[in-house]
């Protein structure tokens, strides 16, 4: 009778770019769902990393340790921070699992992994919020405003759909690039291509905000008077000299308020409403 011996292969499986893409998409769609005060977005990151960690750690104790490692406090922006860090953690966990399996010195210590994550999450969140929420989002809105004015539902849906697809695509790109570059992924944000893209989007965002202000901030003067039998309409004179000067003055006034008082939107709206009411009451606007 032949004795059958069973052995358990504890070797980590190879992590592919498909695995990293899946990890990012899990992070993308679970981003704010398990948000907690104690850990912030760490449960979302762990949820994203779970399939990768299961492929890397076949020993239950090591798998639990990896879960705890990825469950420490974490908070960053969805695509820029989440994409880079998801790919980078996948690469670092892969190296850690291989070092543990080979029995060599473990260079990828817990502190190194968390400090890398903590050092990147704030910096990348700042970039992502400025580019995505502060620029790209408003570009999509500016494109859709004319459709909304015409009563098309596309004007309401387009910004949400386009922005969601943009963030998902960008996040997958960053995750895959960070995984390929490993610990050198921190240089990805300093590469000329990314820096040029950031600068281009910033300039484009300024143009789009100017277009929005020029087309959708409507302010005109009702002031008119007669001199020697000739009627003078102030708005017509302004249109001939500096078209759009009043909307520009309103926008620059709000900008000046923000620079002096901070981003206090409610106060700015109250002051602006009060000033416009007074000017309209005395017949200037």
As to burial, measured by CB atoms within 10 angstroms (0-12 exposed, 13-18 middle, 19+ buried), residue 26 is buried
pTM across the whole model: 0.66
Q: pLDDT tens digits for 111-167?
A: 888 888 888 888 888 888 878 887 888 888 888 888 888 888 888 899 999 999 999
Taking CA atoms, 239 is separated from 54, 176, 231, in Å, by: 68, 53, 16
Q: What is the predicted pLDDT for the residue at 223?
A: 72
Q: Could you give the CA distance from residue 246 to residue 272 in angstroms, rounded to a whole number?
A: 13
The answer to whether 84 and 178 have CB atoms below 8 angstroms apart is yes
Taking CA atoms, 61 is separated from 6, 64, 103, 184, in Å, by: 21, 5, 16, 29
Mean pLDDT for all residues in the chain: 81
Phi, psi of 266 (to 5 degrees): -60, -45
């Amino acid at each position: 009778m032949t004795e059958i011996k069973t052995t358990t292969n504890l070797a980590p499986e190879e992590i592919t770019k498909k695995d990293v893409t899946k990890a990012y998409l899990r992070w993308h769609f679970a981003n704010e769902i398990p948000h907690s005060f104690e850990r912030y977005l760490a449960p979302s990151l762990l949820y994203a990393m779970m399939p990768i960690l299961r492929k890397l750690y076949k020993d239950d104790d090591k798998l639990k340790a990896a879960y705890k490692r990825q469950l420490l406090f974490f908070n960053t922006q969805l695509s820029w921070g989440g994409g880079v860090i998801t790919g980078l953690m996948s690469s670092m966990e892969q190296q850690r699992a291989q070092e543990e399996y080979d029995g060599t010195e473990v260079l990828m210590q817990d502190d190194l992994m968390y400090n890398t994550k903590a050092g990147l999450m704030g910096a990348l969140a700042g970039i992502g919020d400025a580019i995505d929420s502060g620029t790209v989002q408003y570009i999509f809105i500016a494109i859709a405003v004319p459709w909304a004015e015409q009563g098309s539902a596309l004007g309401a849906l387009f910004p949400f759909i386009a922005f969601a697809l943009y963030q998902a695509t960008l996040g997958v790109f960053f995750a895959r690039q960070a995984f390929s570059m490993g610990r050198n992924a921190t240089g990805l944000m300093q590469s000329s291509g990314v820096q040029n893209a950031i600068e281009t989007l910033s300039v484009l965002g300024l143009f789009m905000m100017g277009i929005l202000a020029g087309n959708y901030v409507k302010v005109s003067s009702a002031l008119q008077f007669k001199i020697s039998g000739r009627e003078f309409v102030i708005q017509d004179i302004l249109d001939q000299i500096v078209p759009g000067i009043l909307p520009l003055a309103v926008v620059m006034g709000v900008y000046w308020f923000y620079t002096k008082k901070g981003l206090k939107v409610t106060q700015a709206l109250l002051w602006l409403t009060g000033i416009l009411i007074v000017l309209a009451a005395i017949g200037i606007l």
